Amino acid sequence: MSFDATWFRCPNCFSPLEPLERLVLGCESGHRFDIARQGTVTLLPPRAPRTIGDDHQMLSARAALLDSALYLPIADSVAAIATSLSGRAPEGDAVGPRLVDFGCGTGYYASRVADDTGASSVLLADRSPVAVRMATRTVEGATGVVLDIWRPLPLRDGSADLALNVFAPRNPDEYARVLRAGGVLLVVVPREEHLAELRRDGSVLAVPPDKERAVSEALAAAGFDLAEHLPVRYETDVTAEQRVMLVAMGPSAHHAAAGGSEAHAPLRVTVSVDVLAFRRRPLP
């Protein structure tokens, strides 16, 4: 088990958390949290909503879809920008960036970025305990945390150099607090035409127009400056199996209309996203 406690503060009183025993974290106020043997910890705030995030079925579909390389161009773009803006540690040198993935899912993107940047510490954060366990198996040596992305995060101020937020909810003010001044936040959001061919039969949810602008404005208000904007667009043929995975891997699984025999036929689809890189402004 690998576990880096230097990421964490108490979700109850916000004091730093420190290892007290091999599998226990604690703060000076007496709050205690158990560390799972897989290297994960649950740090939910008091009265946190009883949501569980993505379930095992959704995550299994996502893992299979990502393993098929359908979204490899997106991963390539994210990793290239992360490496360009954060730099890479020399071989054998453990001074690479401290990387956190907000909404880590299966760990697919974090694994690629951690390898390409030589990350010195990796934190995988998600509301879904299943996702956190799955991601820590994907990213060797990573620490995992189950948290509520909408509430004050149980992470220390300025504890991250590089952050990912790929197809996941955002908490701009908290991301700004957790990232050090000059740190980089990489965000991937779908464009309006993303998977449009699946939307025609109600298989996936609509994407709001101008989502990139709305995300950029929210992050700017929280203290981020846009450093790079890379649209990624391509058309690709998906198999019947991949088509089922695309629907089953996300929130559309809860809303998709029941399809007929054509719902699982092979199809050519458009993949279209914005990869956005932001710099955390120097603190006043």
Q: Where are the domains of the chain?
A: 38-280
- In this prediction, residue 94 carries a pLDDT of 54
- In this prediction, residue 203 carries a pLDDT of 78
- In this prediction, residue 263 carries a pLDDT of 52
Q: The pTM is what?
A: 0.92
Tokens representing 5?
């406690």
Handedness of CA 166, 170, 172, 177 (dihedral sign): negative
Q: Where are the alpha helices (DSSP H) in the chain?
A: 56-67, 72-86, 108-117, 129-138, 172-178, 196-199, 211-222, 240-248, 252-255
Tokens representing 160?
């991250």
Q: Decide if 241 contacts 263 (C-beta within 8 A).
A: no
Tokens representing 260?
């007929």
Map 39-59 to HEC letters.
Answer: CEEECCCCCCCCCCCCCHHHH
Q: Decide if 140 contacts 1 (C-beta within 8 A).
A: no
- In this prediction, residue 248 carries a pLDDT of 85
Q: Decide if 28 contacts 15 (C-beta within 8 A).
A: yes
The residue whose two tokens read 């989502």 is: 211
**Residue 184: which H helix or E strand, with range?**
strand 179-190
Q: Helix, strand, or coil here: 215?
A: helix
Strand order in 24-26's β-sheet?
A: 18-21, 24-26, 32-34
- In this prediction, residue 256 carries a pLDDT of 46
d(CA 213, CA 71): 23
In the predicted model, residues of the chain with pLDDT beneath 50 are 254-262
d(CA 229, CA 74): 13
Enumerate the β-bridge partners of residue 268. 237
Domain 38-280 top-level CATH class: alpha beta
